[in-house]
Amino acid sequence: MSRHEHPIQRMLTANAQWAEDVQRAEPSFFEQSAKGQSPHTLWIGCADSRVPDSIVTGSKPGEIFVHRNIANQLKLDDYNALSVLRYAVDYLGVEHVVVVGHTECGGAAACLAAAQDVNLDLDKPIATVGSLPPDSSLNRWLEPLTRLAVSLELSSTPHEEALPLVVEENVKMQVENLAKTHAITEAWTKGTRKGQDVWIHGWVYDISTGKLRDLNVSRGPPPKKPLAETPVCAEPEEYIPVDEPVYGQPSDYIHVDNALPYYYEEPEEYNPIKAGPAHYGVSEEYAQVDKPPKAGPIQVFA
């Protein structure tokens, strides 16, 4: 393949080679893929070209259902995202929905810059991108994130410290929004069409290291709660060795040698979703959850 080959032709050529390589290594792969998909996870991520979900998680085609947009947002009046979520939960049977932000996010950086502008008027529509009118599609999309950045009061915080905070708080806000959707609240209160439990999570991908970081804001259906942050100290009555890879990921990526099995406990109490930055851009029509399950961290494996 020539280095100077047109990018479109280069992609087509690379695809042909990839298909040949896969067919040679796993002759039945495409035949099985054509029969349907059973992804274990819905990935809600940023459209940034540096964060390819399947590659950074070592996943094969068919394992991750994907929705991506500018700054990985899940808005409660966005029928595009809501339809993806509904289809993933009810008809594909995904068990996990993960909101994934990333470092050096251009959308978050633009919102931070606008939020630090001393001339910003919050009583008017916000032109996050100054070269575009406030009612442009991009500015309307970014406005909730700009208002979130304002609420963080980062006007005097250096950019290199402020941007990671905006990225993280944005992920947390989208997880809060996820917990308010009909698809998730119904899965938690009435169950799903396929009978699976559904968990929601928030991660940040570090572009400088290629690693994902869990923000420990996971939620699941009551009375279950997210897994403990540290290993369980005492064995349950019945010990069941963990033989299968965690969350359907290849054993090459997650190693559990002598871990105790997961088990769930009744949470002591439920924490209602509190009003705050998470409500920016929220349509009241969709915010119909009273007592979402208590949030907590996921167990981290060494």
On whether residue 201 sits in a domain, the answer given is yes
Strand order through the sheet with 41-46: 64-69, 41-46, 96-102, 199-206, 211-214
Binding residues for Zn(2+): 46, 48, 102, 105
Q: Which residues of 130-141 are buried (b: 16+ CB within 10 A; e: fewer)?
A: eeeeeeeebbbb
105 given a catalytic annotation: yes
| Confidence class for position 226, pLDDT limits 50, 70, 90 | low
- Alpha carbon distance 242, 227 (integer Å): 14
Between helix 137-151 and helix 159-180 the angle, nearest 10°, is 110
Query: Is residue 157 assigned to a domain?
Result: yes
Distance CA 63, CA 124 (A): 43
Nearest one of 217, 55, 77 to 66, comparing CA atoms: 55
Question: Is residue 270 very low, low, confident or very high in pLDDT (cuts 50, 70, 90)?
Answer: very low
For residue 298, tell me if it sits in a domain: no
Q: Is residue 33 part of a domain?
A: no
Catalytic residue chosen out of the listed positions 50, 159, 193, 255: 50
Radius of gyration in angstroms for the set of CA atoms belonging to the chain, rounded to a whole number = 21
**Catalytic site includes residue 77:** no
Which range has the worst mean pLDDT, 52-66, 89-103, 278-292? Answer: 278-292
Active-site residue flag, 255? no
Contact 105, 71 (CB under 8 A): yes
> Is 265 domain-assigned?
no
For the question of residue 233 being annotated catalytic, the response is no
User: Which of 44-58, 169-183, 218-232 has the least mean pLDDT?
Assistant: 218-232
Of 105, 111, 201, 279, the catalytic one is 105
Encode pLDDT of 241-250 as tens digits: 433 333 333 3
Give the three-state DSSP class for 133: coil
Instruction: Assess whether pLDDT exceeds 60 at residue 69.
Output: yes
Q: Are 199 and 220 in contact (CB under 8 A)?
A: yes
User: Is 295 inside any structural domain?
Assistant: no
Q: Assess whether 48 carries a catalytic annotation.
A: yes
- Residue 98 included in any domain: yes
> Domain limits at 194?
38-214
Q: Is residue 5 part of a domain?
A: no
Residue 281: left (phi > 0), alpha (psi -120 to 50), or beta? Answer: left
Q: What CATH number has the domain bearing residue 168? A: 3.40.1050.10
Exactly one of 67, 102, 147, 219 is catalytic; which is it?
Answer: 102
- 267 vs 150: which has the higher pLDDT: 150
Q: Per the structure, how many domains does the chain have? A: 1
Q: Please list, in sequence order, all residues whose beta carbon lies within 8 angstroms of the beta carbon of residue 129, skipping any fewer than 6 positions away.
A: 110, 136, 138, 139, 142
